[in-house]
Amino acid sequence: MKKVSLEDISKELGVSKTLVSFVMNGRAKEKRISEEMTEKVLAKAKEMGYKANYLARALRTGKSNTLGLIMADISNAFFAKLARSIENEANEFGYNVIFGSSDEDSIKSGKLIEVFKNKKVDGLIICPAMGDIKYIKRLQKEKYPYVLVDRYFADVKSNVVVVNNQIGSYEIVNDQVKQGKKKIAMVNFNVGLINMDDRFIGYKEALKANGLELDHSLVKNVSFRGMENETELAVKELLEQKDRIDTIYFSNNQLAFLGLKYIIKNNKSVLDKINICSFDSFAVMDLMEIPMVYGTQPIKELGKHAVDLIMKQIDSDTIQPQEVVLPISYSKKMI
């Protein structure tokens, strides 16, 4: 089958090849091409099965109009929604997004960075894994446009978009204390990631501010690799000392889901005595007949700021690194 060209599309529509090229390269607004004509061109291109040769265009123009996006785990609802937000925002700039998951593996993350660079992406948006600092330093040295989202490295001055993990965590735990809860356990994730460490700091500071001592036996740490089994074990151990706890606080949505799954299956009656909190939510949380407190991260805003920062870098190599820190909100789900 003959490959569809820009010229084929232009002949079908009776317009110039140049006009079609501007539309397909995301330059319609710049060239003042009407929205109606832009939609016609895009619809015809889709109808005819046009596939752009991004690598050839990148070699010719120096820009591919593509971004590389590395998420920690695209199967996680938070990262899936964030990826979609970034994709939608990038589309407003005429950019496509290529996705990859690092699975919290620095080696895999490094390979993805090289793959995307070889594909001539114009910039990278990265949710870094532990150990990625060497790759980030290399990107910085090469002056390759990149933005870190959700996490960052304090030792590397980068463009960063994150939520205020410490304050968000503090507010959730402090709310529990104000409700009279004094034995608050925490199940934390991938200690060593700065966002998770900050959530633990917020937890500790809320206890301290209310005159409560940190009990290390009530803090359980879970790894990415063994998340399901380790979360079940952590919750099991906490419930075995249920007379010593009145709240279980999960530092992310996956831990909350796995923890609640275990409790409902094995000991649902404890939910009459123990509060459940989560730093963020998961898809079916509102359908579960369980009262809980959970945070809501501003995912749309995270994506918007990440794309804005990468576009500024692509357009200019003199942009000073910026750090965008967004607040979370939290909700109390009652039944």
Q: Mind listing the pLDDT tens digit for each residue in 100-149?
A: 999 999 999 999 999 999 998 999 999 999 999 999 999 999 999 999 99
207-211, 247-251, 273-277, 328-332 — which is least confidently predicted?
A: 328-332
- 165-296, what's its fold? Rossmann fold (3.40.50)
Instruction: Tell which wins on pLDDT, 53 or 183.
Output: 183
Intervals of CATH 1.10.260 along the chain: 6-52
Q: How many angstroms separate the CA atoms of 209 and 181, rounded?
A: 14
At residue 335, the pLDDT reads 42
User: How confident is residue 243, by pLDDT bands cut at 50, 70 and 90?
Assistant: confident
Q: Give the predicted TM-score (pTM) of the model.
A: 0.79
Q: Tell me the percentage of the chain whose pLDDT exceeds 90.
A: 65
Check: CB of residue 162 under 8 Å from CB of residue 326: yes
CATH fold, domain 6-52, is 434 Repressor (Amino-terminal Domain) (1.10.260)
* Structure token pair of residue 52: 């752009």
pLDDT for position 93: 83
User: Please, which pLDDT band fits residue 246 given cuts at 50, 70 and 90?
Assistant: very high
Name the band, by pLDDT with cuts 50, 70 and 90, for residue 267. Answer: confident
CA–CA distances in Å: residue 79 to residues 74, 106, 131, 252, 297: 5, 17, 20, 12, 11
Confidence class for position 272, pLDDT limits 50, 70, 90: confident
> What pLDDT was estimated at residue 287?
64
Tokens of 110: 């490094």
> Residue 21 in contact with residue 5, Cβ under 8 Å?
no
Residue 6: what pLDDT? 86
pLDDT of residue 60: 58
Please list the residue range(s) of the chain that carry CATH number 3.40.50.2300: 64-158+299-327, 165-296
**255: pLDDT strictly greater than 70:** yes
The CATH architecture to which 64-158+299-327 belongs is: 3-Layer(aba) Sandwich (3.40)
Q: pLDDT at position 42, please?
A: 87
**Which residue in the block uniquely carries the two structure tokens 């090289």?**
114
Q: Could you tell me which residue, 243 or 286, shows the higher pLDDT?
A: 243
pLDDT at residue number 190: 78
CB atoms within 10 A of CB 74: 16
165 has a pLDDT exceeding 70: yes
pLDDT at 56: 60
The first and second tokens of residue 139, run together, are 């990107």
Report which residue type is found at 142. E
| SS3 at position 160 | strand
Average pLDDT of span 252-265: 92
8 A C-beta contact, residue 292 and residue 276: yes
Average pLDDT over the chain reads 89
